[in-house]
Amino acid sequence: MRYGLYWQGFAAGDVRPKSCLATRRETHMVVSGQEGSVCGSMKHHIMISLGILMGLIFAFRAAVAILEPGLGFREAYLLGGLVLSGWLIMGGISEWRHARKTQPAPGPETD
């Protein structure tokens, strides 16, 4: 099976650079809307990294807000952001576990 760089957004015959290594068949599946994304394995990485980024931002803002006297809407908003970032991280971890379970067993490649 030949691998090459193919762009998802165009017809399967177009040879344009893209960010993932894919076969023409896989690219055609993505273009035609069939099941299975070529870059689908990156979803959990994106979820985890965005969750960590959001967590850092909301934690820093919450630390500054706690230093000021009184509790109010701002602190509740920041707590909600921390909960949302934690939910995003946990969702990414569960996606990662699911992706690892559904990976095919590595075998000899045939050409």
pLDDT digit of tens for each residue in the chain (111 aa)?
444 444 444 455 555 544 455 555 555 455 545 445 545 678 889 999 999 999 999 999 999 999 988 888 999 999 999 999 999 999 999 998 988 888 777 767 665
Write down the pLDDT at residue 70.
86
Write down the pLDDT at residue 88.
95
For residues 97 and 46, membership in a common domain is answered with: yes
In a domain, 47, yes or no: yes
For residues 44 and 34, membership in a common domain is answered with: no
In a domain, 108, yes or no: no
Write down the pLDDT at residue 99.
85
For residues 69 and 90, membership in a common domain is answered with: yes
Domain that holds residue 2: 1-38
In a domain, 111, yes or no: no
For residues 30 and 61, membership in a common domain is answered with: no
For residues 30 and 46, membership in a common domain is answered with: no
State the Cα torsion 37-106-99-101 to the nearest 10°.
Answer: 140
Indicate whether this model's pTM tops 0.85: no
In a domain, 110, yes or no: no
Please give the sequence-ordered ranges of beta strands (E in DSSP) within the chain, or none if there are none.
4-5, 21-22
In a domain, 63, yes or no: yes
What residues does 81 pair with on adjacent strands? Answer: none
Write down the pLDDT at residue 6.
44
Write down the pLDDT at residue 43.
87
Question: What residue type is 6 in one-letter code?
Answer: Y
Rounded Cα distance between 81 and 103, Å, is 33
How many domains, in total, are found in the chain? 2
